[in-house]
Structure 1
Amino acid sequence: MATTERAMPKGLKPATELGPILVFFAAYYFGDLFVATGAIMITTLIALAVSYYYTRSLPMMPLVTAVVVMVFGGLTLYLNDETFIKMKPTIIYAIFSIILFAGLILGKSFVKVLFDNFWDLDDDGWKKLTIRLAAFFLLMAVANEIIWRSFSTELWVNIKVFGFTAATFLFFVAQVPMITRHMNQDKPDTDA
Protein backbone atom coordinates (compact mmCIF):
# COMPACT_ATOMS: atom_id res chain seq x y z
CA MET A 1 0.00 0.00 0.00
CA ALA A 2 1.47 3.37 -1.04
CA THR A 3 1.77 6.09 1.57
CA THR A 4 0.54 9.51 0.61
CA GLU A 5 1.08 12.92 2.06
CA ARG A 6 -1.72 14.17 4.31
CA ALA A 7 -2.89 17.76 4.51
CA MET A 8 -1.31 19.33 7.58
CA PRO A 9 -3.79 21.45 9.55
CA LYS A 10 -3.16 25.18 9.31
CA GLY A 11 -0.92 26.35 12.13
CA LEU A 12 0.56 22.92 12.83
CA LYS A 13 3.73 23.50 10.78
CA PRO A 14 4.74 26.62 12.76
CA ALA A 15 3.85 24.72 15.95
CA THR A 16 6.22 21.89 15.02
CA GLU A 17 8.97 24.41 14.24
CA LEU A 18 8.57 26.76 17.22
CA GLY A 19 6.96 24.41 19.75
CA PRO A 20 10.17 22.75 21.00
CA ILE A 21 11.94 26.07 21.64
CA LEU A 22 8.89 27.53 23.42
CA VAL A 23 8.58 24.39 25.57
CA PHE A 24 12.32 24.69 26.32
CA PHE A 25 11.79 28.28 27.49
CA ALA A 26 8.78 27.43 29.68
CA ALA A 27 10.48 24.36 31.16
CA TYR A 28 13.54 26.43 32.02
CA TYR A 29 11.47 29.00 33.91
CA PHE A 30 9.31 26.43 35.70
CA GLY A 31 12.22 24.07 36.35
CA ASP A 32 15.84 24.45 35.34
CA LEU A 33 18.13 23.92 32.37
CA PHE A 34 18.14 20.14 32.83
CA VAL A 35 14.32 19.97 32.84
CA ALA A 36 14.32 22.23 29.78
CA THR A 37 16.84 19.98 28.05
CA GLY A 38 14.66 16.90 28.57
CA ALA A 39 11.62 18.85 27.42
CA ILE A 40 13.21 20.03 24.18
CA MET A 41 14.42 16.50 23.45
CA ILE A 42 10.91 15.07 23.84
CA THR A 43 9.13 17.86 21.94
CA THR A 44 11.69 17.73 19.12
CA LEU A 45 10.94 14.02 18.62
CA ILE A 46 7.19 14.71 18.78
CA ALA A 47 7.54 17.51 16.20
CA LEU A 48 9.48 15.20 13.87
CA ALA A 49 6.88 12.45 14.29
CA VAL A 50 4.01 14.85 13.55
CA SER A 51 5.84 16.22 10.52
CA TYR A 52 6.51 12.70 9.25
CA TYR A 53 2.88 11.67 9.84
CA TYR A 54 1.69 14.43 7.52
CA THR A 55 4.46 14.69 4.93
CA ARG A 56 5.78 11.09 4.90
CA SER A 57 9.32 12.51 4.84
CA LEU A 58 11.75 14.06 7.29
CA PRO A 59 13.01 17.50 6.22
CA MET A 60 16.81 17.73 6.37
CA MET A 61 17.18 20.81 8.61
CA PRO A 62 14.78 19.58 11.34
CA LEU A 63 16.34 16.12 11.14
CA VAL A 64 19.89 17.46 11.61
CA THR A 65 18.63 19.67 14.44
CA ALA A 66 16.95 16.69 16.09
CA VAL A 67 20.12 14.58 15.92
CA VAL A 68 22.18 17.37 17.50
CA VAL A 69 19.49 17.97 20.16
CA MET A 70 19.47 14.26 21.05
CA VAL A 71 23.27 13.96 21.20
CA PHE A 72 24.00 17.19 23.08
CA GLY A 73 20.86 16.99 25.20
CA GLY A 74 21.72 13.41 26.08
CA LEU A 75 25.27 14.41 27.06
CA THR A 76 23.90 17.28 29.15
CA LEU A 77 21.59 14.97 31.09
CA TYR A 78 23.93 12.00 31.32
CA LEU A 79 26.95 14.02 32.47
CA ASN A 80 24.86 16.56 34.41
CA ASP A 81 26.74 19.32 32.57
CA GLU A 82 24.87 22.22 30.97
CA THR A 83 27.80 23.04 28.70
CA PHE A 84 26.64 20.58 26.05
CA ILE A 85 23.13 21.99 25.61
CA LYS A 86 24.59 25.49 25.45
CA MET A 87 26.91 24.38 22.64
CA LYS A 88 24.03 22.84 20.66
CA PRO A 89 23.06 26.04 18.78
CA THR A 90 26.71 26.65 17.90
CA ILE A 91 27.02 23.16 16.42
CA ILE A 92 23.73 23.41 14.50
CA TYR A 93 24.51 26.85 13.05
CA ALA A 94 28.07 25.78 12.17
CA ILE A 95 26.84 22.61 10.44
CA PHE A 96 24.33 24.56 8.36
CA SER A 97 26.94 27.19 7.46
CA ILE A 98 29.48 24.55 6.42
CA ILE A 99 26.91 22.66 4.35
CA LEU A 100 25.85 25.84 2.53
CA PHE A 101 29.43 26.97 1.86
CA ALA A 102 30.36 23.43 0.71
CA GLY A 103 27.40 23.47 -1.66
CA LEU A 104 28.64 26.71 -3.18
CA ILE A 105 32.10 25.21 -3.69
CA LEU A 106 30.45 22.24 -5.42
CA GLY A 107 28.31 24.58 -7.51
CA LYS A 108 25.05 23.70 -5.78
CA SER A 109 22.58 25.81 -3.84
CA PHE A 110 21.10 23.78 -1.01
CA VAL A 111 19.02 26.85 -0.16
CA LYS A 112 17.31 26.43 -3.52
CA VAL A 113 16.40 22.85 -2.60
CA LEU A 114 14.91 24.05 0.71
CA PHE A 115 13.06 27.13 -0.53
CA ASP A 116 12.25 26.33 -4.16
CA ASN A 117 8.57 25.88 -3.26
CA PHE A 118 8.46 29.40 -1.79
CA TRP A 119 10.45 31.46 -4.30
CA ASP A 120 11.33 31.16 -7.96
CA LEU A 121 14.69 32.93 -8.11
CA ASP A 122 17.27 33.14 -10.86
CA ASP A 123 20.62 31.39 -10.28
CA ASP A 124 22.32 34.60 -9.13
CA GLY A 125 19.57 35.16 -6.55
CA TRP A 126 19.96 31.64 -5.16
CA LYS A 127 23.72 32.11 -4.96
CA LYS A 128 23.41 35.42 -3.12
CA LEU A 129 20.83 34.02 -0.71
CA THR A 130 23.02 30.98 -0.05
CA ILE A 131 26.08 33.13 0.70
CA ARG A 132 24.09 35.42 2.96
CA LEU A 133 22.43 32.56 4.82
CA ALA A 134 25.73 30.70 5.26
CA ALA A 135 27.35 33.88 6.63
CA PHE A 136 24.33 34.47 8.89
CA PHE A 137 24.55 30.96 10.34
CA LEU A 138 28.29 31.42 10.93
CA LEU A 139 27.62 34.72 12.72
CA MET A 140 24.93 33.07 14.84
CA ALA A 141 27.36 30.26 15.81
CA VAL A 142 29.95 32.83 16.92
CA ALA A 143 27.30 34.85 18.77
CA ASN A 144 26.08 31.78 20.66
CA GLU A 145 29.63 30.93 21.73
CA ILE A 146 30.25 34.45 23.00
CA ILE A 147 26.93 34.64 24.85
CA TRP A 148 26.97 31.28 26.64
CA ARG A 149 30.61 31.66 27.64
CA SER A 150 30.30 35.28 28.82
CA PHE A 151 26.89 35.63 30.42
CA SER A 152 24.48 33.92 32.81
CA THR A 153 22.44 30.88 31.83
CA GLU A 154 19.25 32.92 32.22
CA LEU A 155 20.45 35.56 29.76
CA TRP A 156 21.60 32.85 27.34
CA VAL A 157 18.17 31.16 27.46
CA ASN A 158 16.40 34.47 26.76
CA ILE A 159 18.70 35.34 23.88
CA LYS A 160 18.48 31.81 22.46
CA VAL A 161 14.69 31.81 22.52
CA PHE A 162 13.87 35.42 21.67
CA GLY A 163 17.05 37.01 20.32
CA PHE A 164 18.03 34.30 17.87
CA THR A 165 14.43 33.85 16.71
CA ALA A 166 14.08 37.61 16.15
CA ALA A 167 17.46 37.75 14.40
CA THR A 168 16.39 34.98 12.01
CA PHE A 169 13.09 36.74 11.26
CA LEU A 170 14.88 40.07 10.66
CA PHE A 171 17.46 38.35 8.46
CA PHE A 172 14.76 37.03 6.13
CA VAL A 173 12.89 40.34 6.13
CA ALA A 174 16.15 42.05 5.12
CA GLN A 175 16.44 39.62 2.17
CA VAL A 176 13.08 40.60 0.65
CA PRO A 177 14.50 43.36 -1.61
CA MET A 178 17.17 41.02 -3.02
CA ILE A 179 14.67 38.17 -3.40
CA THR A 180 12.26 40.51 -5.20
CA ARG A 181 15.01 41.68 -7.60
CA HIS A 182 15.94 38.11 -8.49
CA MET A 183 12.47 36.62 -8.91
CA ASN A 184 11.99 34.92 -12.26
CA GLN A 185 9.43 36.85 -14.24
CA ASP A 186 8.12 33.90 -16.23
CA LYS A 187 4.55 33.16 -15.28
CA PRO A 188 3.36 29.58 -15.70
CA ASP A 189 0.57 29.05 -18.21
CA THR A 190 -2.75 28.56 -16.48
CA ASP A 191 -5.69 27.03 -18.25
CA ALA A 192 -9.11 27.88 -16.91
Structure 2
Amino acid sequence: MTQTKDINPILKQVLELGPTLAFFFIYLRIKDDVFVIGNTEYSGFIVSALIFVPILLVAMAILWMLTGKLSRLQIFTAFIVIFFGGLTAYFNDKRFFMMKTTLVYGTFCVLLGIGLLRGKSYLAYILNDMLPMEQEGWMILTRRLCGCFAVLAAANEYVWRTMSEEAWVKIETFGFPLALMAFLMMQFSLLQRFLIEPDADGAGKSED
Protein backbone atom coordinates (compact mmCIF):
# COMPACT_ATOMS: atom_id res chain seq x y z
CA MET A 1 0.00 0.00 0.00
CA THR A 2 1.27 3.46 -0.92
CA GLN A 3 2.47 5.40 2.10
CA THR A 4 1.22 8.97 2.30
CA LYS A 5 3.65 11.72 3.27
CA ASP A 6 3.18 15.20 4.66
CA ILE A 7 4.59 18.18 2.77
CA ASN A 8 4.96 21.85 3.50
CA PRO A 9 1.39 23.30 3.49
CA ILE A 10 2.54 26.36 1.55
CA LEU A 11 4.03 24.17 -1.18
CA LYS A 12 0.83 22.13 -1.22
CA GLN A 13 -1.24 25.29 -1.75
CA VAL A 14 1.09 26.43 -4.53
CA LEU A 15 0.71 23.11 -6.33
CA GLU A 16 -3.08 23.11 -5.93
CA LEU A 17 -3.78 26.76 -6.74
CA GLY A 18 -0.79 27.55 -8.94
CA PRO A 19 -2.18 26.15 -12.23
CA THR A 20 -5.35 28.27 -11.99
CA LEU A 21 -3.35 31.41 -11.23
CA ALA A 22 -0.99 30.55 -14.10
CA PHE A 23 -3.96 30.33 -16.46
CA PHE A 24 -5.18 33.71 -15.23
CA PHE A 25 -1.88 35.51 -15.77
CA ILE A 26 -1.20 33.81 -19.12
CA TYR A 27 -4.65 34.84 -20.28
CA LEU A 28 -4.07 38.47 -19.26
CA ARG A 29 -0.82 38.44 -21.21
CA ILE A 30 -2.14 36.96 -24.49
CA LYS A 31 -5.91 37.60 -24.38
CA ASP A 32 -5.81 39.96 -27.38
CA ASP A 33 -3.46 37.82 -29.48
CA VAL A 34 -4.34 35.36 -32.23
CA PHE A 35 -2.25 32.23 -32.78
CA VAL A 36 -2.11 30.17 -35.95
CA ILE A 37 -1.54 26.46 -35.31
CA GLY A 38 -1.87 24.03 -38.18
CA ASN A 39 -3.53 26.64 -40.40
CA THR A 40 -6.18 27.24 -37.72
CA GLU A 41 -6.51 30.49 -35.79
CA TYR A 42 -6.88 30.22 -32.02
CA SER A 43 -7.72 33.04 -29.65
CA GLY A 44 -5.58 33.92 -26.66
CA PHE A 45 -8.24 32.42 -24.39
CA ILE A 46 -8.11 29.02 -26.06
CA VAL A 47 -4.31 28.96 -26.09
CA SER A 48 -4.32 29.87 -22.38
CA ALA A 49 -6.74 27.02 -21.69
CA LEU A 50 -4.56 24.56 -23.62
CA ILE A 51 -1.44 25.67 -21.73
CA PHE A 52 -3.35 25.28 -18.46
CA VAL A 53 -3.90 21.54 -19.02
CA PRO A 54 -0.23 20.40 -18.95
CA ILE A 55 0.53 22.85 -16.12
CA LEU A 56 -2.24 21.23 -14.07
CA LEU A 57 -0.99 17.71 -14.88
CA VAL A 58 2.60 18.58 -13.94
CA ALA A 59 1.45 20.12 -10.65
CA MET A 60 -0.63 17.03 -9.86
CA ALA A 61 2.29 14.73 -10.72
CA ILE A 62 4.58 16.66 -8.37
CA LEU A 63 1.91 16.57 -5.64
CA TRP A 64 1.53 12.82 -6.10
CA MET A 65 5.29 12.24 -5.96
CA LEU A 66 5.62 14.33 -2.79
CA THR A 67 2.58 13.04 -0.92
CA GLY A 68 2.07 9.57 -2.39
CA LYS A 69 -1.63 10.19 -3.05
CA LEU A 70 -4.21 12.16 -4.99
CA SER A 71 -7.79 12.65 -3.87
CA ARG A 72 -10.70 11.45 -5.98
CA LEU A 73 -11.74 15.09 -6.24
CA GLN A 74 -8.37 16.03 -7.76
CA ILE A 75 -8.46 13.13 -10.21
CA PHE A 76 -12.04 13.92 -11.26
CA THR A 77 -11.23 17.61 -11.75
CA ALA A 78 -8.16 16.75 -13.84
CA PHE A 79 -10.22 14.42 -16.04
CA ILE A 80 -12.85 17.11 -16.64
CA VAL A 81 -10.19 19.71 -17.46
CA ILE A 82 -8.47 17.36 -19.94
CA PHE A 83 -11.76 16.31 -21.54
CA PHE A 84 -13.15 19.80 -21.97
CA GLY A 85 -9.75 21.18 -22.89
CA GLY A 86 -9.67 18.64 -25.71
CA LEU A 87 -13.15 19.63 -26.87
CA THR A 88 -12.14 23.29 -26.73
CA ALA A 89 -9.16 22.65 -28.99
CA TYR A 90 -10.96 20.28 -31.36
CA PHE A 91 -13.95 22.54 -31.97
CA ASN A 92 -11.95 25.77 -31.46
CA ASP A 93 -14.76 26.90 -29.16
CA LYS A 94 -14.08 28.51 -25.79
CA ARG A 95 -17.56 27.64 -24.51
CA PHE A 96 -16.53 24.05 -23.77
CA PHE A 97 -13.82 25.21 -21.37
CA MET A 98 -16.22 27.61 -19.71
CA MET A 99 -18.88 24.91 -19.28
CA LYS A 100 -16.51 22.59 -17.40
CA THR A 101 -17.06 24.60 -14.22
CA THR A 102 -20.79 24.01 -14.45
CA LEU A 103 -20.22 20.28 -14.83
CA VAL A 104 -17.81 20.09 -11.88
CA TYR A 105 -20.10 21.95 -9.48
CA GLY A 106 -23.16 20.19 -10.90
CA THR A 107 -21.60 16.76 -10.41
CA PHE A 108 -20.72 17.54 -6.79
CA CYS A 109 -24.30 18.69 -6.23
CA VAL A 110 -25.74 15.50 -7.75
CA LEU A 111 -23.41 13.19 -5.81
CA LEU A 112 -24.19 14.86 -2.50
CA GLY A 113 -27.88 14.84 -3.41
CA ILE A 114 -27.80 11.09 -4.09
CA GLY A 115 -26.28 10.54 -0.68
CA LEU A 116 -28.95 12.68 0.96
CA LEU A 117 -31.70 10.71 -0.76
CA ARG A 118 -30.14 7.58 0.74
CA GLY A 119 -30.02 9.24 4.15
CA LYS A 120 -26.22 9.45 4.10
CA SER A 121 -23.58 12.16 4.03
CA TYR A 122 -20.81 11.39 1.54
CA LEU A 123 -18.90 14.33 3.01
CA ALA A 124 -18.59 12.42 6.26
CA TYR A 125 -16.92 9.52 4.43
CA ILE A 126 -14.30 11.87 3.03
CA LEU A 127 -13.73 14.38 5.81
CA ASN A 128 -14.70 12.75 9.11
CA ASP A 129 -11.12 11.76 9.96
CA MET A 130 -9.98 15.36 9.53
CA LEU A 131 -13.07 16.96 11.06
CA PRO A 132 -14.84 14.70 13.58
CA MET A 133 -18.48 15.76 13.80
CA GLU A 134 -21.80 14.28 14.81
CA GLN A 135 -23.92 12.73 12.06
CA GLU A 136 -26.58 15.42 12.41
CA GLY A 137 -23.95 18.07 11.71
CA TRP A 138 -22.71 16.22 8.64
CA MET A 139 -26.24 15.95 7.25
CA ILE A 140 -26.86 19.67 7.76
CA LEU A 141 -23.54 20.59 6.14
CA THR A 142 -24.17 18.21 3.23
CA ARG A 143 -27.59 19.70 2.51
CA ARG A 144 -26.21 23.22 2.59
CA LEU A 145 -23.17 22.39 0.47
CA CYS A 146 -25.36 20.57 -2.04
CA GLY A 147 -27.38 23.77 -2.41
CA CYS A 148 -24.20 25.84 -2.63
CA PHE A 149 -22.85 23.75 -5.50
CA ALA A 150 -26.19 24.07 -7.31
CA VAL A 151 -26.02 27.85 -6.96
CA LEU A 152 -22.40 27.95 -8.18
CA ALA A 153 -23.24 25.78 -11.20
CA ALA A 154 -26.15 28.06 -12.09
CA ALA A 155 -24.00 31.14 -11.49
CA ASN A 156 -21.33 29.86 -13.87
CA GLU A 157 -23.94 29.31 -16.56
CA TYR A 158 -25.19 32.86 -16.07
CA VAL A 159 -21.69 34.38 -16.09
CA TRP A 160 -20.33 32.73 -19.23
CA ARG A 161 -23.56 33.21 -21.16
CA THR A 162 -24.15 36.87 -20.27
CA MET A 163 -20.81 38.44 -19.34
CA SER A 164 -17.55 39.10 -21.14
CA GLU A 165 -14.79 36.54 -21.55
CA GLU A 166 -12.49 38.48 -19.24
CA ALA A 167 -15.21 38.77 -16.60
CA TRP A 168 -15.64 34.98 -16.64
CA VAL A 169 -11.89 34.42 -16.25
CA LYS A 170 -11.73 36.72 -13.23
CA ILE A 171 -14.82 35.24 -11.59
CA GLU A 172 -13.65 31.68 -12.31
CA THR A 173 -10.20 32.38 -10.85
CA PHE A 174 -11.19 34.38 -7.78
CA GLY A 175 -14.95 34.80 -7.43
CA PHE A 176 -16.15 31.20 -7.23
CA PRO A 177 -13.30 29.88 -5.03
CA LEU A 178 -13.61 32.80 -2.60
CA ALA A 179 -17.40 32.42 -2.46
CA LEU A 180 -17.05 28.70 -1.70
CA MET A 181 -14.37 29.34 0.93
CA ALA A 182 -16.47 32.01 2.64
CA PHE A 183 -19.49 29.70 2.59
CA LEU A 184 -17.54 26.84 4.19
CA MET A 185 -16.02 29.07 6.85
CA MET A 186 -19.46 30.36 7.77
CA GLN A 187 -20.89 26.82 7.93
CA PHE A 188 -18.15 25.46 10.17
CA SER A 189 -18.70 28.40 12.48
CA LEU A 190 -22.43 27.70 12.64
CA LEU A 191 -21.87 23.96 13.16
CA GLN A 192 -19.43 24.28 16.07
CA ARG A 193 -21.89 22.62 18.45
CA PHE A 194 -21.72 19.38 16.43
CA LEU A 195 -17.93 19.08 16.51
CA ILE A 196 -16.50 16.19 18.52
CA GLU A 197 -13.62 16.96 20.86
CA PRO A 198 -11.35 14.13 22.12
CA ASP A 199 -11.49 13.66 25.87
CA ALA A 200 -8.52 12.98 28.11
CA ASP A 201 -8.72 9.22 27.47
CA GLY A 202 -8.69 9.71 23.67
CA ALA A 203 -12.38 8.94 23.25
CA GLY A 204 -14.61 11.43 21.48
CA LYS A 205 -17.34 13.40 23.12
CA SER A 206 -19.75 15.93 21.75
CA GLU A 207 -19.15 19.57 22.45
CA ASP A 208 -22.14 21.23 24.11
Q: Which residue of 2 aligns with 1:184?
A: 196
1:113 and 2:125 matched: yes
Q: Deviations over 1:40-63 (max 9, x none)?
A: 211221222122213322201111
Tell me the distance in 2 between the aligned counterparts of 1:72 and 1:124.
37
Tell me, what secondary structure is at the counterpart of 1:11? helix
| Residue of structure 2 in register with 1:14 after alignment | 13
Contact 1:125 1:178 survives alignment (8 Å): no
CA distance in 2, matches of 1:114, 1:55: 17
Report what 2:98 is aligned to. Answer: 86
Q: Pick closer, same or farther for the CA change 1:43–1:116 going to 2, 3 Å.
A: farther
Matched, 1:145 2:131: no
Report the alpha carbon displacement of residue 18 of structure 1 after superposing the two structures with TM: 1.0
The farther-off stretch of 44-53 and 141-150 is: 44-53
Change in CA separation of 1:129 and 1:188 when aligned onto 2, cut-off 3 Å: farther
Match of 1:123 among 125, 135, 140: 135
Which of structure 1's runs of 4+ aligned residues deviate more than 6 A?
A: none
Distance change in 2, residues 1:55/1:108 (3 Å): farther
Amino acid at match of 2:119: G
Q: Which amino acid aligns with 2:5?
A: R
Q: Residue 23 of structure 1 contacts residue 39 of structure 1 at CA under 8 Å; is this kept in 2? A: no
Match of 1:35 among 23, 31, 47: 47
- Which residue does the alignment assign to 1:162? 174
Q: Which has the larger share of strand?
A: 2
Local SS of the residue matching 1:44: helix
Structure 1: state its 5+ residue gaps. none
How many Å separate the matches in 2 of 1:49 and 1:107? 36
Question: Residue 114 of structure 2 aligns with which residue?
Answer: 102
Aligned-pair distance for 1:186?
4.2
What SS does structure 2 have at the residue aligned with 1:57? coil
Question: How far has the Cα of 1:188 moved from its partner?
Answer: 5.8
Equivalenced residues, count: 189
Whole-angstrom distance in 1 between the partners of 2:6 and 2:122: 25
Q: CA deviation at 1:184?
A: 1.7
Task: State how 1:45-60 maps to structure 2 within 5 Å.
Answer: 45-60=57-72
How far apart, in 2, do the equivalents of 1:66 and 1:16 lie?
Answer: 13
1:5 equivalenced with 2:4 (yes/no): yes
How far apart are residue 103 of structure 1 and its match?
1.3
Identical positions, percent: 35
Aligned-partner Cα distance in 1 for 2:17–2:48:
15
